Structure 1
């Protein structure tokens, strides 16, 4: 009996020692997570119930900040701009990335180099990309210069026109993120079982029928993942409109995150900014929950 107990005790001691060592290795990351993520998140909850200026006394005001959101004349336009950006950006990004992944099939020579080429904007700093696009879209930029040279037509000032500014922000954002979703879809396409594809060909599936009835259902988990991530990213858009248009002309391209930024750092209304951030969080959670609920009807997992 004692001879069996000793190995068990030694294994238990070894397991505890390994657990302590593992905790020691991950403790710096856990400390960083707590200090820079968990604590600020909890503090933002508290701030949203206070009149919290950057300097001065803080006063508890309950849900008054949440009520003020819908009285602020700039909040609802910012929310509308965020919705417009998301509605335009997500389908365009997913569709173009998917078409690009399908086009860069095994028969395309140099497809590895082409993938790298399309992925470069993803790893290039966002600020650099925006500055390049800002120079291209200005009245003295590349687009207007080419239009005047080739067609003798002067293009509108895209970044100062309310009808064009949001479209240009969307175009630049799609170009920026195109390579990320393309790689996700390319990886999914390369994992397609050859047996299923060959069976579909034998049954007469070709061209669009093969793509629509076989390929897309089989890569639907990748499409679902890309859609979720792209949706969350689009609802948090900030850098592109901030640097490309400054939120203008007027408030035509001011998204919700820029409104939150302005309230917190420009107008020193940290409590109101925190309330707006939690409204945005609730919107993201709600849309994500709806997408997860709807996935049962169109996402097909292999079992």
Structure 2
């Protein structure tokens, strides 16, 4: 049924030969595949992919039959060499698709070198947009500030010293910053981000999957949030460090909160203060607990 819908929706379009099709695939939920992507994956002569076993499983789940020989491995360790193989196929007039393991290729995953080589050779590169952890987490972060736009930083360095230096640079960034992290390194990232203290951070875990979690909290609280539930250490992470101007705006929110707590129940005071100031509700809730304790 899906293949039929894909043909009906996308079959009448032009799909030139000798072109590379950069295809976004789901980051978790298979239903996020586009009809156009489904049609192209069945149409092309070959599919280059980050992991042939992973992509073969994805294709079977989508009802696309593809012989193992029609899948060409192209990953960070062989991208330059594999690109030359694909250029020969494009020169012969074949249509070739490229997919990474999840999401939009050539953003954080491999593919940028391939695209550059194909463009340099004079062949067309045709994007098929779709799922991306970057835009997905941004859409639910509610990050705001006087400075518009965002910065995609991706994975911070794995070495502690280099990671600490990178975080210090982030402290000076006035725009929202999108970070990615793997489950086996998220605890180290949480420790490094503690120096940013009250700066709001939206954490997206297992985005689009069954156990998806999206939480906004202060940077200093991320390590405690992870430790509160062992399940939170599992899955892939996409995070948004909110603009520093937003962190500065928390002060008026705290002042208003203190006034409201004198007259209202804690949860009501937090809700009204968050609505009025725009400060993150979770951060205000922690502040309310502190203020009540001090009172």
Query: Which entry has the higher C-alpha Rg, 1 or 2?
Result: 1
TM-score (norm 2): 0.22
Name the structure where helix makes up a greater proportion of residues: 1
TM-score, structure 1 normalization: 0.22
